[in-house]
Amino acid sequence: MLDLVFARADVLAALAKRLQDTPTGPMGDCLRNALRFPDSDQHLSKLAATAIQPSVRAIAYKCLISRKAAWHAGFEWAWIDKVYGLRRRVPKLETRDIQTDGPVVDFIVAGIRDRSAFVRKTVADAMIGVRSQIEDEGHLVAQLAADPNPAVRSRGDFMVRHQGERSPSS
């Protein structure tokens, strides 16, 4: 019943406004759930640029850079040791391709300039996956390698060390 409500464009627009303006609460989880609906794609670039919560900005940037939306669809069992019957529950994700008009490089540049280290780290992780699509990545990698946050800097250093290599998906 709620899926029918959230599939409406006006409801997703109101939700996007709330995701953008709410300073506290689990807005990142709300965005992940909203990503199931293709009409949410049109709000991602605005959320990436203007959302108050870093988690919302990070999820939006990751989707825009990777061109994929992922959300939790329950849990499944993963075997640790079949002989002894040991297994654990792991989250199950579903994905879909998203439609957006901006070039990947523009989203990476904007994400690297974000004030939150969490967002910059997420953008750097997403950039590693799409390096083959970026023509001149040198200045972006240099910015990441010079970042004040050690987690972001380590991702920049990884890209410097593997400058000639491309991601396995390319």
Please state the pTM of the whole predicted model.
0.86
With a cut of 70, list the residues of the chain below it in pLDDT.
164-170
C-beta separation of 108 from 127 below 8 A:
yes
Per residue in 44-67, pLDDT tens? 999 999 999 999 999 999 999 999
Percent of the residues in the chain that have a pLDDT greater than 90, as a whole number: 69
Per-residue model confidence (pLDDT) at position 162: 84
Q: Which residues pair with residue 1 across a beta bridge?
A: none
Q: Report how far residue 54's alpha carbon sits from residue 68's, in angstroms, rounded to the nearest whole number.
A: 19
* 108-121 exposure pattern, b = at least 16 Cβ within 10 A, e = fewer: bebbbebeebbbbb
Per-residue model confidence (pLDDT) at position 165: 63
Per-residue model confidence (pLDDT) at position 133: 81
